[in-house]
């Protein structure tokens, strides 16, 4: 199938006037390109890593923007890589596989689509992060007038549930909340715990809670994506955030007054009650026995 007349359509209130922020434009285009890169490499039977074959496959699915149209903002695209590799039309096959996988996830199919990996699923989840009421309604990838797939609210909900079912488990962490990113498409933060830093993401309804808890100690609960060792958290999707009361900093002078502690004027003040001779002898005897043992 030909990839001629390929385009991305962004639809929603935030683009009704035919305008789209440069950051959002780059995020959408970059997210779709990254998904095609991962699909192409997975179709080649390899994980994402450098190498001649990987570079050749990724090169075959590279797209360039050739035009920008208003209305619903539309990016016209064109292939920049070679059309075929060893007789395979890599970009066409990658588009078909990506569209099929997005549709299967949208219908809550409980198994991983063909050629999909967790990095690809996580990337699509991030791409869907910009879908929100009153903002972006959906992102369509269109070929020759036909919608190959749509990233919309239905997919946004389904891909989060899919990622949680596959790789996550409930977790609660306590730490200090730092590094908030409150852009509509990102909504991320970092929680520093005694065991290390945990990257978190959250939905719009938790935005005020995260903003209010910035730089404070918090208790955060949600679905954790674990590292391969199964014991440490890689990312945490927040479902609940509670700011914890913190101790009020006090000076040494304040602490000393509260505990009735003052300066020492004589070593005699540090001496305790005298030890009875029989207790001291019993202590020495016990010490000798422990050395012999």
CB-facing half-sphere around the CA of 185: CA atoms within 13 A: 22
CA 98 to chain centre: 21
CA distance 33 to 62: 7
Residue 33 · residue 62 · CB < 8 Å: yes
Q: Which long-range contacts (CB under 8 A, 24 or more apart) does 65-73 make?
A: 65/29, 70/18, 70/19, 71/18, 72/9, 72/10, 72/11, 72/12, 72/15, 72/16, 73/9, 73/10, 73/15, 73/18, 73/19, 73/20, 73/25
Q: Are the C-beta atoms of 135 and 13 separated by less than 8 Å?
A: yes
* Whether the predicted pLDDT of 50 surpasses 50: no
What's the pLDDT tens digit per position in 182-240? 766 567 889 999 888 888 888 888 889 999 999 899 999 998 877 655 567 878 889 99
- Residue 131 pLDDT greater than 50, yes or no: yes
Whole-structure pTM value: 0.57
For domain 169-243, say whether CATH 3.20.20.80 is its number.
no
Question: Which is more confident, 23 or 83?
Answer: 23
Q: Return residue ranges of the chain for CATH 2.40.50.140.
A: 169-243
Measured over the CA atoms of residue 163, residue 168, residue 169 and residue 175, the dihedral's sign is: negative
Q: How far apart are CA 215 and CA 158, in angstroms?
A: 32
Six-digit token string for 218: 């918090």
Using pLDDT thresholds of 50, 70 and 90, give the confidence band for residue 51. very low
Mean pLDDT, residues 65-81: 84
Give the rounded percent of residues in the chain with a pLDDT score beyond 70.
87
Q: Measuring CA to CA, which residue among 97, 77, 96, 94 is closest to residue 85?
A: 94
List, in sequence order, every beta strand (DSSP E) within 105-145: 138-143
100 band by pLDDT with thresholds 50, 70 and 90: very high
Beta bridge pairs of residue 69: 74
């Amino acid at each position: 199938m030909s990839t001629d007349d390929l385009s991305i359509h962004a639809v929603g209130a935030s683009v009704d006037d035919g305008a789209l922020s440069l950051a959002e434009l780059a995020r959408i285009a970059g997210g779709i390109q990254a998904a095609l890169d991962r699909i192409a490499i997975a179709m080649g039977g390899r994980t994402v890593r450098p190498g001649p074959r990987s570079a050749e496959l990724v090169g075959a699915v590279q797209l360039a923007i050739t035009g920008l149209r208003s209305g619903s903002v539309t990016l016209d695209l064109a292939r920049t890589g070679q059309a075929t590799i060893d007789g395979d039309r890599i970009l066409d096959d990658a588009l078909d596989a990506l569209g099929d996988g997005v549709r299967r996830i949208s219908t809550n199919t409980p198994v991983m689509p063909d050629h999909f990996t967790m990095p690809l699923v996580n990337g699509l989840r991030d791409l869907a992060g910009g879908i929100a009421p009153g903002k972006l309604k959906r992102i369509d990838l269109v070929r020759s007038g036909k919608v190959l797939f749509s990233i919309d609210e239905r997919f946004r909900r389904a891909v989060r549930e899919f990622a949680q079912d596959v790789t996550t488990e409930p977790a609660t962490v306590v730490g200090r909340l730092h590094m908030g990113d409150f852009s509509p498409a990102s909504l991320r933060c970092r929680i520093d715990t005694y065991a290390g830093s945990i990257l978190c993401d959250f939905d719009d309804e938790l935005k005020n809670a995260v903003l209010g808890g910035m730089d404070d100690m918090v208790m955060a609960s949600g679905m954790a994506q674990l590292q391969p060792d199964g014991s440490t958290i890689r990312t945490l999707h927040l479902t609940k955030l509670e700011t914890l009361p913190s101790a009020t900093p006090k000076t040494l002078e304040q602490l000393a007054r509260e505990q009735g502690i003052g300066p020492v004027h004589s070593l005699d003040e540090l001496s305790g009650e005298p030890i009875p001779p029989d207790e001291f002898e019993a202590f020495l005897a016990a010490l000798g026995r422990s050395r012999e043992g």
